[in-house]
Amino acid sequence: MTATPTLSDLFADGAETVEHRGSDVRPLLRLAASEGTKVRVERIAARPDRRQALKLAAVNGLLEVNGATSEIISLWSDTSPIEVELTVIGANARRLEVWNAWDLGGLETAWLGNAGMIVEKAERHLSLHCSDGLGPPNFTDLQVRLSVAQPG
């Protein structure tokens, strides 16, 4: 009997999306972003028994939140506010990358096993339904709303 491939197995060949039970699943969300882009993240739900994080990275730029800047920001379900607003800074910033991670015995883990996200587009935001990599795909492990406002 052949083992069912995990989502990370299916992404291994570089696929940007795979189909799972009628939904498109992706390992990483890429969005256009430039200097001054505002990003609002609202955590809707997170599993209580395992820390979950939404990770955001500004490609060729930085993210600013509450006066602190970093290339990558981790919004952990147990330590970050429910709502966070970030600003992309840097004249060369071109893209925002978003993915989910989880705590595995004190080790931050991402993109393994059945990790992935379903992205639903609404009029003013994206809903991200994230599955951590443990066990069968479960797209309720972390759920967030993401709003992106371009400058100008």
Measured in residues, the chain has a length of 152
Q: What is the chain's mean pLDDT, rounded?
A: 95
H helices of the chain, in order, are 7-11
The span from the CA of 39 to the CA of 17, in Å, is 23
For 7-32, what is each residue's pLDDT tens digit? 999 999 888 999 999 999 999 999 99
For residue 134, tell me if it sits in a domain: yes
- Would 96 be classed as within a structural domain? yes
The reply to whether 12 falls in a domain is no
Q: What is the pTM of this model?
A: 0.94
In a domain, 17, yes or no: no
Q: Please report, to the nearest 10 degrees, the dihedral formed by the alpha carbons of residues 133, 138, 142, 144 taken in order.
A: 120
The number of folded domains in the chain is 1
* Residue 5 is assigned to a structural domain of this protein: no
Q: Does 19 fall in a domain?
A: no
108 found inside a domain: yes
Which residues share a beta bridge with 40?
85, 147
CATH classification of the domain holding 49: 2.60.120
Residue 13 inside a domain? The answer is: no
Q: What domain range is 87 assigned to?
A: 26-147
